[in-house]
Amino acid sequence: MLVEGTMRWQVTEDAPMALMLALAFRDMAGLGKRCVAQLPAVTPGLERVDVVGLDLDALAVQFDGWWTGIARRDTRLFMAEVRPPHFEVFDRALDLQELAYRAYDDAHRWASARIREYERALAGRSPSRLTDVYELIRERQFELRRQSSSFRLDLEVLPICRPGAWVVAPDTIVVSESLRDDREAFREWLRPLVHGLV
């Protein structure tokens, strides 16, 4: 995770495994129109998993409950990891637990590969990717002739098939890899947000 900030403000950037797995499960089960519908499908796409025997309405409700808990960084820390062999985090969400049994291996392989790609992109970039954020905040403080207001912003960089950014929880924005990797487009997207926060 990348962190930039001061005592008054903090911006983080990450590509968290929990969100990667969740979107992989969502797409593999065909829940894209029911769950986290504002986020387009992931890329590269995943093969659908057999959902015969699962109650899709219950699965969607269980998925939404899980997503609500993991969307924010500060609540994600209190959620158990999705781990085989029993997927105990889903002990009270049996349809979601069954989906995990059916989809975990492929979803985990896919998510791990995407995280490695993200880490390679970070290693190959100099200066730090959050330098843009720091510079925009500093410019805005200079324009206002004062320190920033207090705020926190968590940027979750995910392999979404369409460039863009989506607010998924207070303080939390999912940013597509394609937007994040386009420095000028990212700065143009971020500028009005920084103006509002600072």
**33-71 residue pLDDT tens:** 999 999 999 999 999 999 999 999 999 999 999 999 999
Conformational region of residue 36, where left means phi above 0, alpha means psi within -120 to 50, and beta covers everything else: left
pTM over cut 0.75: yes
Q: What pLDDT score does 130 carry?
A: 85
**69-94 residue pLDDT tens:** 999 999 998 888 999 999 999 999 99
Contact 130, 13 (CB under 8 A): yes
Contact 166, 38 (CB under 8 A): yes
Q: Which two tokens stand for residue 117?
A: 């790609």
pLDDT band at 21 (very low <50, low <70, confident <90, very high): very high
**114-132 residue pLDDT tens:** 999 999 988 877 667 788 8
User: Residue 129: which residues within 8 A CB-CB, separation 6 or more?
Assistant: 2, 13, 122, 180
